[in-house]
Structure 1
Amino acid sequence: MNHTNTQDEAQKKAKPIAPKVKELIANTKSIILATVDAEGNPNSSYAPFVQVENTFYILVSFMARHTKNLAEGRKTSIMFIEDESATKQIYARERLTIEATASQIERDSETWNTVVTHLKETHGKVVDVIAEMKDFILIALQPTKGSYVNGFGSAYFVDENLEIMEHRNDVNHQPK
């Protein structure tokens, strides 16, 4: 086995530590959303979020296309991504992509009140205003699985608890 293969094998076995995933989430104020409508048309957007335990919550308006898609329980994907201005290599930005199930939280329920309080603490007084608007709803995004990438050839499956499971690909990038 040559030296390059040994390095490749070592990289696949060396999982990133779980706090790196949690650090990426902690350093992010909004998530990128990918949803689909009833006809399967894609929509990408973003929303400020908070994480309570292992669930992500967003307070979103029905004036946005993604809200209807989420309220109707369609599949969604959310992404946390390293800031462009902070990355050393634009092609290899650190990112966490999660498939999630969406469910609407009942207004004025215990969960609603707890999460809206967290949203206010994180995103400020604007939450007081939008939480009172009837077109805004609270959506819970429960992770089911995903992937974490932190460089070229460094991609890992993550589970519903956002824990690194295994290297995502046994085939490295190939030269031309």
Structure 2
Amino acid sequence: MNHTNAQDEAGRKAKPVAPKVKELIDRTKSVILATVDAEGIPNSSYAPFVQVNTTLYILVSFMAKHTKNLADGRKTSVMFIEDESATKQIYARERLTIEAAASQVERDSEIWNTVITKLKENHGKVVDVIAEMQDFILIALQPVKGSYVNGFGSAYFVDQNLDILEHRNDVNHQPK
């Protein structure tokens, strides 16, 4: 193996540090949501979010299909993805996909008040208005497991704490 191939191999096996996952989350203001309804019909959407510890919180309206799906406690997946305009390679955008357990937060509870304050800080005064509307509910999305990708052949399992566990696949992309 020549020096260049050895460097490439080392780069593929190098485990990214957990802060890379957290940096992607910190750079993002909204999450992409994937939910399913009672009939198993998929729905994709998005919602602004805040993070408290490892839990993600979204304030969503029942006027959106995803809200009923989430309120009914159905499985969900959330995705954080590098902005298209910032990526060097569209096929290898940095991304974090998480399976999450959804639960509704009781209105005016301590966690409701804490999260609403943080939502206002991050997303502005509009939160004051929508938090008072009765069709809006606060959903907690607790990560279960996921994957983090930061390039070709660079995919990793992520645990419920959003920490990198291990490389997802030791098999590299195969040429034709």
For 1:51 and 1:163, locate their aligned partners in 2 and report how far apart those are by CA, in whole Å.
Answer: 15
How far the C-alpha of 1:11 sits from its partner, in A, is 3.4
The count of aligned residue pairs is 175
**Partner of residue 108, structure 1:** 108
Q: Once the two structures are superposed, what CA deviation does each residue of 1:11-35 show, in whole Å capped at 9, x if it has no partner? A: 3431011111110000000000000
Does residue 118 in structure 1 map to residue 112 in structure 2? no
For 2:8 and 2:83, locate their aligned partners in 1 and report how far apart those are by CA, in whole Å.
Answer: 27
For 2:151 and 2:30, locate their aligned partners in 1 and report how far apart those are by CA, in whole Å.
Answer: 22
* Aligned-residue identity in percent: 85
Q: Once the two structures are superposed, what CA deviation does each residue of 1:9-66 show, in whole Å capped at 9, x if it has no partner? A: 5234310111111100000000000000011110000000000011000000000000
Q: Is the 8 A contact 1:61 1:67 kept in 2?
A: yes
- The equivalences for 1:50-89 within 5 A come to 50-89=50-89
What are the ranges of 5 or more consecutive residues in structure 2 without an aligned counterpart?
A: none
Query: RMSD in angstroms over aligned alpha carbons?
Result: 1.3
TM-score of the superposition, structure 1-length normalised?
0.96
**Partner of residue 174, structure 2:** 174
For 1:165 and 1:149, locate their aligned partners in 2 and report how far apart those are by CA, in whole Å.
Answer: 13
TM-score of the superposition, structure 2-length normalised?
0.96
For 2:8 and 2:72, locate their aligned partners in 1 and report how far apart those are by CA, in whole Å.
Answer: 43
For 2:34 and 2:7, locate their aligned partners in 1 and report how far apart those are by CA, in whole Å.
Answer: 35
Q: Once the two structures are superposed, what CA deviation does each residue of 1:96-124 show, in whole Å capped at 9, x if it has no partner? A: 00000000000000010000000000000
- The equivalences for 1:1-176 within 5 A come to 2-3=1-2, 6-7=6-7, 9-176=9-176
Runs of 4+ in structure 1 off by over 3 angstroms are 2-9
Report the residue type matching 2:65 in the other structure: R
Any idea what SS the aligned residue of 1:146 has? strand
For 2:144 and 2:11, locate their aligned partners in 1 and report how far apart those are by CA, in whole Å.
Answer: 26
Report the residue type matching 2:137 in the other structure: I
Pick which of 8-17 and 70-79 moved more. 8-17
Report the residue type matching 1:27 in the other structure: R
For 2:8 and 2:68, locate their aligned partners in 1 and report how far apart those are by CA, in whole Å.
Answer: 44
